[in-house]
Amino acid sequence: MADNDVFRDESGKHVAFKEVPRFHALYAYHTNRPDRHRHASNVSDTVTDNGAACSDPSSQPTVLDFLQQEEVTNRDFSLSVLATDLTADNETDLRGFLAKRFSRGTVYSGTGNVAALDFSISEDSDSPVVCYFCLLRPSHCASSQLETDHEGTVCSQEYIACFITNETGVLDYYRDELGEHCKMLLPMLEAESMDLPQIQEHLSEWYNASVMFASRCVEKLKDGVAYLIHMALLGLKLEIDGDDDKFKSDVKKFIKCCSLSELIQHKSPSSEARGSPEVPPGGSLLPASMDGDGERTVWLSVRDDAAEFSSTECNSFCQKWAEALLKSPSGGAVHVREVIESYKLKTIQNMNIVKRLIRQAENDHYALYRCFIFLQQSGNHDILLEMVRSEQQFTSSVDAKNVVSILGEFLQAVVA
């Protein structure tokens, strides 16, 4: 049995789970699509009776024009398999499913989709089969770089990467990582001489590379995963000292899936002074080093099976998060991601409560006290305050900045 099918139960013992069938497929997607550049040129060349160029906005290409062109594209295409580990019957069923889906004109390049399939991939399981598929458009398939025929259409070859399993929830939870794995195929597909064995190997690694990274990080770092979560939420820079490139990639993905930076409206660079960032009273408690750009950095040293952080500052919220990951009673990547998403949601909810109380505290001292108590009991006050300081709407308000500064001072005194 593969290593990624072995997990720990609550007592720390390793438990082997029944191997789940997982497959992949790559198709060449040949399509005749309208030449948008030619269409746009025809529209822009529309002239008035006196020969002047027409400036009527109604004559410009519209969203409806684009959708109609895409609809035409999906009426004239063909699929041919390039690589797969499916049986011949299952591959034919999958190709039929993709043909129906693409003929409806609901698939766009670069966007991964998850859909249920109506056929079985394993005789030993009745679980529903789910497929992740992503349309990949190489750079040389841009309409401007393809030859146009006499009917004003261009023939392009794109690709469809598919990952299939009957493991419930895994494709939905790791959709972003699967999309990144698909995009890594593009350089191989754009090469002058396509290396199919290399492509096949990359496809076969989809589950190990895009799903199991979080479980491997938890298994290797153990209690130290709390420090990784803490720095991910604070948005600190991590430098890894070691030769294990696979582990470095796992940590990078783990930090990204734990981070909430994309949900925070960061203050603009123009609002900050150049040089080292100002840390207000009661600022972050993490004694990380500063790099040349004034960015706080944490170092992770990896030697054999031992991992050591340069900073071991954490909080009780991140420790509980790490404990939940380490327990993993049901095992598997799905449970690990469920825990991550659950604690991220809790952080967002607490963040919204803190922001509301801070707004109220600008004119209400009792709201200031309630906010202080809430932050103290959350076990996550340093991260929540750091997130508030990073948001544009709070950095632009003097009253809000004063409230945050007061809260930081009092919480710093309590922790000390």
The residues, any chain, with a CB within 8 Å of residue 227's CB and separated by 6 or more, are 298, 309, 311, 312, 313, 314, 318
Q: What is the pLDDT of residue 93?
A: 94
Q: Which helix (H) or strand (E) holds 312?
A: none
**Domain coordinates in residue numbering, the chain:** 19-211, 214-415
DSSP 31-46: EEEE-HHHHHHHHHT-
Each residue's pLDDT tens digit in the chain (416 positions)? 344 444 445 455 544 445 678 999 999 988 776 555 554 444 444 444 444 444 455 556 666 655 555 555 555 678 999 999 999 999 999 999 999 888 876 676 778 899 999 888 877 667 789 999 999 988 766 544 445 554 556 667 889 999 999 988 999 999 999 999 999 999 999 888 889 999 999 999 999 999 999 999 999 999 999 999 999 999 888 999 888 889 999 999 999 999 998 776 554 444 344 333 343 444 333 334 444 455 678 899 887 777 889 888 899 999 999 999 998 755 589 999 999 999 999 999 999 999 999 999 999 999 999 999 999 999 999 999 999 988 867 767 888 889 999 999 999 888 76
| Coil vs helix vs strand at 289 | strand
Residues 22/130, Cβ–Cβ less than 8 Å: no
Q: What is the pLDDT of residue 154?
A: 64
Give the β-pairing of 296-303 and 237-241.
parallel
- Name the residue among 296, 149, 280, 281 with its Cα closest to residue 235: 296
DSSP character string of 116-161: EESS-S-TT--SPEEEEEEEE--GGGSGGGS-B-TTSEEEEEEEEE
pLDDT value of residue 69:
55
pLDDT confidence of residue 274: 34
Output the pLDDT for position 114. 94
Q: Does this model's pTM top 0.85?
A: no
For residue 185, report the phi and psi dihedrals to the nearest 5 degrees. Answer: -75, -25
Distance CA 331, CA 255 (A): 20
Scored b (16 or more CB within 10 A) or e, 109-126 reads eeebeeeebeebbeeeee
3-state secondary structure of 365: helix
Instruction: Residue 358: name the closest of 411, 400, 405 by CA.
Output: 400
Where do the H-state alpha helices sit in 275-397?
316-327, 333-361, 365-378, 381-390, 392-395
Determine the pLDDT at residue 323. 95
